[in-house]
Amino acid sequence: MIEWFTWLQLAIAVPGGLLCVILGLVGRKPTDLTMGATALVELLLIVQLAAAIAAPLAGNNATGSLLEFYTYLVSAILLPVAAGFWALVERSRWSTVILGLTSLSVAIMLYRMNQIWNVQGS
Amino acid sequence: MNDSRNEAPAPSRRVSGIGRLLIAVYGVLALAATGRSFVQIASEFEDAPLAYSLSAIAAVVYIVATIALIKRSARWYRIAWITISFELVGVLVVGTLSLVDPALFQHKTVWSVFGQGYGFVPLVLPLLGMWWLARHPVSAETSRRTIRSGRA
């Protein structure tokens, strides 16, 4: 896990999630913007997965439990996909809110993952 | 007028409005509880069999509650009430015990300190769930009618 990249993810997931929640509560159906924000969060998670697999080869090892780390990461990767399908099936304002809640949940999980990798065991 | 052409927007099996949000939050919590209990049981079950078994039971109940909220039938409506009541009792009992006798729950469960580790969502969610269920009852009659008129 690369720390600055994680902060970049948080810098996108938190405002993106808040934006989706607000647009949803205002009454917007899922749009390219809100779907795109969620897709971006998902894309960065995939990059993070690749980085997490590669990092130990470069001497960047997790200080905490790898099992816990990957449970979070895999769960986080599933969330935006589920919310995205939901938004495609149900084109309602609540789907937009759900997209937002998903990104915010991913942000919390990323924060925990960062703790596990960089703080937990050190 | 015509009974056979049942077009009235009767309480449908499709969950609508804010209920979807509830389902989504339940789904996320079910995933979180399942993930945590998976890690606990896989890596350190011997440390606290009681707390970790409880985590696993909580996770299963959250999954069942999520499904019960999605499926709008009389039977699932009852299951939703049972599972959500179980959660409320769980979070109240374990939350109280974890404060009164911390030694009993040294190891984190989803319900410790009233769900503090999850932003107290486990405490608030059952109450919201019960409120929503009470507002949207499903009787045996409505569920039979919707089955006859469409999605079985």
Enumerate the residues of chain A whose CB falls inside 8 A of the CB of residue B17. 94
pTM of the model: 0.81
Q: Rounded mean pLDDT of A20-45?
A: 95
Enumerate the residues of chain B whose CB falls inside 8 A of the CB of residue A111. none
**Furthest-apart CA atoms within chain A: distance in Å:** 48
DSSP character string of A58-94: GT---SS-HHHHHHHHHHHHHHHHHHHHHHHH--SHH
Number of neighbours of residue B140 by Cβ within 10 angstroms: 11
Q: Given an 8 Å threshold on Cβ–Cβ distance, is A71 in contact with B38?
A: yes
- At CB < 8 A and 24+ separation, what contacts does B107-112 make? B107/B40, B107/B47, B107/B48, B107/B51, B107/B52, B108/B36, B108/B51, B109/B51, B109/B52, B109/B54, B109/B55, B109/B58, B110/B29, B110/B32, B110/B33, B110/B36, B110/B37, B110/B55, B110/B58, B110/B59, B111/B54, B111/B58
- Which band of pLDDT confidence, cut at 50, 70 and 90, is reported for residue B12? low
Position B51 pLDDT exceeds 50:
yes
Q: Which amino acid is at A61?
A: N
Task: Please name the member of A68, A78, A90 whose beta carbon is closest to the beta carbon of B20.
Answer: A90
Residue B71's pLDDT is what?
87
Task: Please name the member of B17, B24, B43 whose beta carbon is closest to the beta carbon of A98.
Answer: B24
Residue A77's pLDDT is what?
95
Q: Given an 8 Å threshold on Cβ–Cβ distance, is B31 in contact with A65?
A: no
Residue B1's pLDDT is what?
44
Position B2 pLDDT exceeds 50:
no
Position B55 pLDDT exceeds 50:
yes
Q: For the segment A55-110, what is each residue's pLDDT rounded down to a tens digit?
A: 988 888 888 888 989 999 999 999 999 999 989 988 889 999 999 999 999 999 99
Cβ A76 vs Cβ A44: under 8 Å: no
Q: Rounded mean pLDDT of B60-77?
A: 91
Mean pLDDT of chain A: 92
